[in-house]
Chains A and B, each alone.
Chain A
Amino acid sequence: MMAYAAKRILQVVPVAVGVSVVCFMLIHLAPGDPLAAILPSDASADLQAQMRALYGLDRPLPVQYGLWLIRALHGDLGQSIATGRPVTGEIAGAAVNTFILAGVATVLGFTVGATLGFLAGLARGTWVDRITSGIAMLGVSVPHYWLGLVLVIVFSVELNWLPATGAGPGGRSLDWSYLRFLVLPAVTLSVIPMGIIARTVRSLVADVTAQDFVSALGAKGMLRRQVLRHVVRNVAPTALSVMGLQLGYLLGGSILIETVFSWPGTGFLLNTAIFTRDLPLLQGTILVLAMIFVLINLGVDLLQGAIDPRIQR
């Protein structure tokens, strides 16, 4: 196991380096001068050169990358152009909100999706299967930002049960005054993992029950409950790893939902950064989200390797 873990971790290093290179290059991909946002348009050539030297922009690209990487590894992602505050702090605050949203959405999506998928897999070909598979299909096909709007229309505008936007005036708490703000965005965000997990679990359950040993267990007079437990044990590792990956996708992909609900997370931050052309903030947010995704993937692989030694090839 240790050898497998070491191998997987070593494999992640080049990917992480590549991801950081892509994030670094983003700024240079952007049209226009990176300094244009901070300098007045009539700045003298002298001042421009001075600023260029100050930001290290006069050095060759690999050197700039190296310096940027060293600073990033020390937790320094530069300053937001719009607010002047350190990017790291801005991201840290927003990341907590995104983690809460994505975490709740993943758990919700997994619970509903796994249940639906399990039922569909056991009752293959029946109307239960068709309905649950239809729901799963809608879950992966629906434009979730639109679903968010529809939920707002129904529960905020028409019924006036839940707030439409924001994370509430008070702080985070387990209080309804905070949680009511979480309900709509979390439900909306849970739809995609729900659909994906339902489809995965359905085919896994179908595969396991089709194997001979399951019918053999039934034939040996085992109780239906015991057989079910057996199926669950065989399906769980893959389903859980799919759930882990989905959490990663949601952390990086919640920008649309956070925009719909004005949820103050990393996605919302990204959106703000894009429209204020705040390139350091944009770059830092993308780097952090991508690295989290890489680490979650690694974590899922290691967990899976620990649960199922056959994977450690």
Chain B
Amino acid sequence: MRAAVLPPLEDRGGPAQPLLTVGGLVKHFPVKGGVFGPRRAVQAVDGVDFSVLKGETLGVVGESGCGKSTTARLLVRLMAPDAGTVIFDGESVGDALSLRDYRRQVQMVFQDSYASLNPRLTIEDSIAFGPRVHGVAARAATGRAHDLLARVGLEPRRFAGRYPHELSGGQRQRVNIARALALEPRLVILDEAVSALDKSVEAQVLNLLLDLKRDFGLTYIFISHDLNVVRFMADRVMVMYLGRVAEIGARDAVFDAPAHPYTAALLASMPKADPAERRDAPPLSGDPPNPIDPPPGCRFNPRCAFVEDVCRRTDPPLAALVPQHSAACLMASSGSGHSRAPEIAA
């Protein structure tokens, strides 16, 4: 049966229920050792928990290799997680909510605007592909593609019949955004979606994303290594380190009062125009350790300025400092044995 439009997606749990709740997400990639070498694995994502509220933008930051992109790919189910649950608006993905229905609700925009468009398809065909897959008739799908092109600021009559190589990077990323919206998703994952763009183009695309979010009632997971951009876009921020969540909390809380020394170090390495704004936290030194062999205890301990013996023994849990602000650091967890840990409240 070919429909003219997609059936609208309904909010089920009401505004208070998180749109997405992720629990214990794990993905290890086996690596080839020698012929007789031991079987080992890159612990790309190693037990990640978080939730995304309806209508918010959750920013995700961290160095390359911290598991940001793997998390994104797991959430869109481009790969199956080794363990963990994903609950979308109250329904467990893969059980109550079928993968196919879930995929309509969660779409992704990739970093490489050129590689994410099929070079042999015109732009309207690329955008119309998703709706057609979900049963929309070809003509209606093309019509929808034209409407979306107009919505992302590309004149359909000029652009719809073009091929990706005839467009600029910014224009291609607008097409990718239109393609992601073609299925009328509720959650859009933006994986370094503006990172490859020039600064001036980046600002335009960011503003477009904010407009679209308001007009379509979207929720974003905004992944970037650029802290300035995350600060501009995000309502809450999640910091990842070596496949784990290091810190998560409201944007201003995380940026103004980081609870994890890794967050503080990341912020210190941010380029600042105003010298008065510079922080005195120690800068980050060295490369992240090998995710095949994460250090025992706290994963950040080899690079941490406040490392103590206890950090090499104890793997810190993600603990709440105040409601809505948590960090995985022994200094933030009372009674942890770290000299800087808060006293246990009597």
Contact = CB atoms under 8 A, between A and B. Distances in A.
B309 to A, nearest CB: 38
Contacts of A10: 35
A93 B178 CA distance: 72
B34 interface: yes
Interface string A2-17: 0100110010000000
A281 B35 CA distance: 38
B33 to A, nearest CB: 9
Nearest to A8: B35
Q: Is the interface of B mostly helix, strand, loop or mixed?
A: loop
Nearest to A9: B35
7 contacts: A3-B34, A3-B35, A6-B34, A6-B35, A7-B34, A7-B35, A10-B35
Nearest to A7: B35
B8 to A, nearest CB: 50
A6 B35 CA distance: 8
Contacts of B35: 3, 6-7, 10
Contacts of A3: 34-35
Interface residues of A, number: 4
A155 to B, nearest CB: 53
Interface of A: 3, 6-7, 10
A268 B34 CA distance: 44
Contacts of A6: 34-35
Contacts of B34: 3, 6-7
A136 to B, nearest CB: 32
B27 to A, nearest CB: 23
Instruction: Enumerate the 4 nearest inter-chain pairs by beta-carbon distance, A residue then B residue, closest first.
Output: A3-B34, A7-B35, A6-B35, A10-B35
A7 B32 CA distance: 12
A10 B35 CA distance: 9
A138 B97 CA distance: 64
B38 to A, nearest CB: 14
Interface in B1-46: 34-35
Nearest to A11: B35
Contacts of A7: 34-35
A3 B34 CA distance: 6
A7 B34 CA distance: 8
Interface in B166-191: none
Nearest to A2: B34
Nearest to B37: A3
A10 to B, nearest CB: 6
A10 B34 CA distance: 12
A3 B35 CA distance: 7
A8 to B, nearest CB: 10
A35 B18 CA distance: 78
A126 to B, nearest CB: 33
A284 B254 CA distance: 75
A7 B33 CA distance: 11
A3 B37 CA distance: 10
Nearest to A3: B34
Nearest to B33: A3
B284 to A, nearest CB: 31
A6 B34 CA distance: 9
A10 B36 CA distance: 11
A11 B35 CA distance: 10
A301 B42 CA distance: 29
Nearest to B36: A6
Nearest to B34: A3
A141 to B, nearest CB: 32
Interface in B145-161: none
A7 B35 CA distance: 6
B101 to A, nearest CB: 41
A312 to B, nearest CB: 11
A192 B312 CA distance: 65
B133 to A, nearest CB: 37
A241 to B, nearest CB: 23
A287 B35 CA distance: 28
A130 B35 CA distance: 48
Interface in B82-116: none
B35 to A, nearest CB: 5
Interface string B66-91: 00000000000000000000000000
